[in-house]
């Protein structure tokens, strides 16, 4: 028996798919290389943007002939397209789908398949099989990834309760729910035992971790607990929100050697009126103060941000405020998206999508070109320096690659040695806007002591 999982969307979906794959393998399934080889076909979906939703629909239409040729083949849909409340319209539109799963919840498919394994089993036996397949402490990586995967995502906050006007996530993933510290640490420990050396703690707003627990821990407490896990060499977290980036969190990043100096903190827009329409809860001045505080306490920190261009009512001058903010703060990473209305959101219900598509595209290109110039200049300044990277794997051209502590992507060639999972010092020889090229230096710098 074989399974195939196709994943669209964010890092949270990647983590959900890995956990589902691990559960399926406990039921006796093995990973298939191609959809047509599989007995179970799963698509893990994203609806943050219209393009992602359309790709999921396209995938479901693609697998329909596979289902028709083999009616016993199981087709399942997981993720935000289903949502936490289900999706009857989806069931009617795709009658060839057998199972619909909410985000981060493999149980419906596991239960469906467990009943298929032996329909004559007693109820208690089936419940035991499902419970074993879903045990948190073992539900980590599929067998094909164990001992090979160097980095992994660990969800620590499910859902979101904040309610930005443009965002569909609270409606599809439900209210925020923080996982207990002990559960997260157990999962990280299991990942380390399976060969993982770097974990990224995930949440839609990760710095709100623990706020749904009275007198509970915060993200700083969680970072300190994960930091104690043997075998883990690096810790990252995303995505943060400017309103909840506390001094305690910044101090934890500064103090803990394993926590990387890279903070993803979306600004979304550089104009106060646009931010108010987005219901972000801060001003541009507030955001600048957070960035200044991070850079003052952690001088070598890299800061990544998200920006939406063409949000409802955004004028040319308001967009230029965003452009000037990127120019001023010189972000290390800028994720740019063109606004697309998502049915069900506040913006979709109450605001006009009045920026023409061609204007959104022009603004997107302007910001992209600015970010490329900033990134190229910063990367070229590293030529001749030595940086430490955690090697993740080889790419299709046979080059090893990994990232610095502050998330710079570095490639190098060395075919005579297996570098996967090692901390390696690399002298940078050339640079482009998105990545660095270099040569390994012997001996490697002591972990955590390289230039950042």
DSSP-derived pairing of the beta strands 2-7 and 30-31: parallel
Number of continuous H segments (helices) and E segments (strands) in the chain? 14, 17
d(CA 301, CA 262): 6
260 annotated ligand-binding residue: no
Q: Is 357 left (phi over 0), alpha (psi -120 to 50) or beta?
A: alpha
Handedness of CA 159, 163, 166, 171 (dihedral sign): positive
Rounded CA separation 355/67 (Å): 42
312 is in an annotated binding site: no
Nearest to 75 by CA among 84, 67, 85, 83: 67
Q: Please indicate if the annotation marks 167 as binding a ligand.
A: yes
Helix or strand holding residue 30 (H, E)? strand 30-31
Least Cα distance to 414 among 384, 449, 444 occurs for 444
- Alpha carbon 389 to its chain centroid, in Å, reads 20
Residues 6+ away with beta carbon under 8 Å from 88:
none
Answer yes or no: is 10 a known binding residue: yes
Query: Rounded to 5 degrees, what are φ and ψ at 249?
Result: -65, -45
Q: Which residues are annotated as a binding site?
A: 10, 46, 80, 160, 164, 167
Question: Which segments are annotated as binding site for [4Fe-4S] cluster?
Answer: 10, 46, 80, 160, 164, 167
């Amino acid at each position: 028996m074989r399974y195939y999982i196709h994943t669209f969307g964010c890092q949270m979906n990647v983590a959900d798919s890995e956990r589902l794959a691990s559960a399926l393998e406990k039921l006796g399934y093995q990973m298939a290389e191609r959809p047509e080889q599989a007995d179970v076909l799963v698509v893990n979906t994203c609806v943050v943007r219209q393009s992602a939703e359309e790709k999921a629909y396209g995938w479901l239409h693609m697998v329909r002939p596979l289902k028709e040729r083999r009616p016993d083949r199981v087709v399942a849909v997981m993720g935000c397209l289903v949502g936490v409340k289900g999706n009857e319209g989806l069931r009617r539109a795709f009658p060839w789908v057998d199972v619909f799963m909410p985000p981060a919840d493999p149980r419906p498919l596991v239960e469906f398949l467990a009943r298929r394994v032996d329909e004559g089993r007693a109820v208690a036996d089936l419940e035991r099989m499902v419970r074993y397949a879903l045990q948190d402490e073992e539900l980590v990586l599929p067998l094909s990834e164990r001992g090979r995967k160097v980095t992994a995502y660990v969800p620590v906050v499910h859902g979101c309760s904040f309610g930005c006007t443009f965002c569909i996530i609270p409606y599809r993933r439900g209210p925020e729910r923080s996982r207990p510290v002990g559960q997260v640490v157990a999962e990280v420990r299991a990942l380390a035992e399976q060969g993982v050396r770097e974990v990224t703690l995930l949440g839609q707003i990760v710095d709100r971790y623990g706020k749904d627990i009275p007198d509970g821990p915060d993200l700083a407490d969680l970072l300190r607990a994960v930091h104690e896990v043997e075998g883990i060499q690096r810790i990252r977290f995303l995505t943060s929100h400017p309103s909840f980036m506390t001094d305690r969190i910044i101090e934890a990043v500064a103090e803990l050697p394993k926590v990387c100096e890279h903070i993803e903190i979306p600004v979304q827009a550089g104009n106060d009126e646009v931010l108010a329409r987005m219901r972000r809860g801060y001003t541009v001045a507030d955001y600048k103060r957070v960035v200044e505080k991070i850079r003052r306490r952690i001088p070598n920190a890299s800061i990544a941000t998200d920006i939406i261009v063409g949000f409802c009512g955004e004028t040319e001058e308001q967009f230029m405020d965003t452009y000037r903010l990127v120019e001023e703060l010189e972000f290390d990473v800028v994720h740019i998206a063109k606004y697309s209305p998502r049915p069900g959101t506040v913006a979709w219900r109450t605001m006009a999508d009045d920026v023409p598509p061609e204007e959104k595209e022009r603004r997107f290109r302007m910001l992209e070109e600015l970010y490329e110039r900033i990134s190229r200049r910063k990367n070229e300044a590293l030529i001749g320096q030595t940086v430490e990277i955690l090697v993740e794997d080889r790419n299709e051209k046979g080059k090893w690659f990994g990232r610095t502590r502050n998330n710079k992507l570095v490639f190098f060639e060395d075919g005579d040695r297996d570098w996967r999972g090692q901390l390696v010092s690399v002298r940078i020889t050339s640079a482009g806007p998105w990545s660095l090229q270099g040569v390994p230096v012997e001996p490697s710098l002591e972990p955590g002591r390289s230039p950042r």
